[in-house]
Structure 1
């Protein structure tokens, strides 16, 4: 089954939900163009979620996706937080920031009954998850209004687990993908493989549609993924330069520079492994550090460094999320890009 049939869309393209660099405007543009626009909701309060959904649904009558995280919030660890702040202390001093005034806040929350209450008023046609799935009763609420459920898998084992839980389709996230790894059964990086190695293995292992994600930047990539059995493709990085995205100036500049050729998995910005363009703090501390608190607790200490540096035009402390293939990034409307990705002539 193609994702067009499953999700009621015209084109086999899903815009990846990208926390921190987009709101409803990008999702609206993609949905109206015939793809599946996605709204990232992991950092939205119930009030903000409602406002975004009101704006989204007032501007499109097409199917859309809302995306949530399903991580288990860790217990705060005072020693881990202290070690992390000590590692960052030279940067606090350099930028004139008093680390004692930095509050500890997680920033990202898992899907909850409160969020489901808001969704129930809108009945989104597609709800997707990262880091596994929520409790069965929350999934039952989504199914109750006819919503389709998608979730990310980074290994065949994760795909089989998701299929057993009754999801409607699986997003196969290859190692090339930008942003956070969606793994949940194992966080062993050595078990993570590239998209075009993962797709055929996953397609052979499960009976439900598999959606390819990671390293796909143009229509050739979409076609290649579907030739290997994928039902469609989810694409994020290519949309980062679109005017409808909220990508910050330092991030846009990095994407257009030669620096974008070098990305790495890093846990420095949130505590979870995520792929981004290598910048100063990743080079100096190493992209993966044992001093970082558990996801998502690392984000609070580094946030003031990011804010101060960005105000001065620097991305030295910013999560410059990007996949390994930025060749598809274009400063064109998301509608034009969506149709190009699907191989549809304008």
Structure 2
């Protein structure tokens, strides 16, 4: 059975892949600091992925993780799209914009054969997935590379399913975590647990290694998860203000303000539940809305609003993803943040 020790890490600290706020620079920095750097790939083309992996290998010889979404492409719902655009009409008028022509072109692509072909040329140590696992044929292509297969579980049922399908490592994503929930067997948010209860449930029922994720901001959090039996910890929000992250100035400013005190799950920005800082849009429309187009189509109508608002220094139409421990993230190098959290492995 594969486990994290085979990766040769200085310590089992995994930087969470965070699309939109990082590129390969953060991956490289964490890997060089002794952890497992991760690259989010759901918004990359095959050509961009190849370039990013070349960049990583030029700057580090350590193991790294590439992460993909494996959602089912949505069916376009014209009626739902119309309701969504109508809800956004006042926002468009506020910025003097005209609603664009409706589009069913998704902004994020699931893992596919083109991406698998790129991986075959680079052979990363870890390939991780969000929203389950890809189709069996695609999964077998990745397994033939010798890469460890990781995926996120937000419930015990999901963890058991992942183990049965051949996942080598399960990431137990607690409710505290920032960004998209990895839920895939159910859309019911009432099934979602916080990190430690979920971790204990999964550890008691699966045989593969389990990584704890969600609300890990201090060495004490690391120690707590490892003492419970976790094989490692995955950390995202703590790196949002790192020097190597591409987090926007508006997002950084919000994270260092009182706005960081309040996060909520919302589907407004993508169509799937994700945790982020509370914005005016979430207050006006409700954080969770039934009229939002399915993932990832919701972001299409928001894109022009986001661009116009950000140009005026307004972040309300931007997804300010962050976990519940957002107030504790600090501006520092990724190496400094990694070293700080790594203190939790020494007990």
* Interval of TM-score (by shorter of Structure 1 and Structure 2): over 0.9
4+ residue stretches of structure 1 with deviation over 6 A? none
State the match for 1:126 in structure 2: 126
Deviation of 1:328 (Å): 3.5
Counterpart of 1:319 in 2: which secondary structure?
A: coil
CA RMSD of aligned residues (A): 1.5
Deviation of 1:3 (Å): 5.6
Distance 2:85 2:214 in 1: 33
Contact preservation (8 Å) 1:125, 1:148: yes
Distance 2:330 2:3 in 1: 25
Contact preservation (8 Å) 2:41, 2:68: yes
- Structure 2: 5+ residue stretches without partners: none
Deviation of 1:337 (Å): 0.8
Counterpart of 1:121 in 2: which secondary structure?
A: helix
* Correspondence 1:187-202 to 2 at 5 A: 187-202=187-202
* Correspondence 1:93-108 to 2 at 5 A: 93-101=93-101, 103-108=103-108
State the match for 1:232 in structure 2: 232
Q: How many residues align?
A: 345
State the match for 2:248 in structure 1: 248
TM-score where L is the length of structure 1 = 0.97
C-alpha change, 1:272 and 1:37, in structure 2 (3 Å) is: same
State the match for 2:41 in structure 1: 41
Distance 2:9 2:328 in 1: 22
Deviation of 1:103 (Å): 4.5
* Correspondence 1:256-275 to 2 at 5 A: 256-275=256-275
Deviation of 1:102 (Å): 6.2
In the alignment, is residue 152 of structure 1 matched against residue 152 of structure 2? yes
Distance 1:236 1:3 in 2: 21
- Structure 1: 5+ residue stretches without partners: none
Q: Deviations for 1:1-37, whole angstroms, at most 9, x for unmatched residues?
A: 9964043211120000001100000000000111000
State the match for 2:323 in structure 1: 323
State the match for 1:63 in structure 2: 63
Counterpart of 2:220 in 1: which secondary structure?
A: helix
State the match for 1:217 in structure 2: 217
TM-score where L is the length of structure 2 = 0.97
State the match for 1:109 in structure 2: 109
State the match for 2:204 in structure 1: 204
* Correspondence 1:257-296 to 2 at 5 A: 257-296=257-296
Deviation of 1:47 (Å): 1.0
State the match for 1:74 in structure 2: 74
Counterpart of 1:343 in 2: which secondary structure?
A: helix
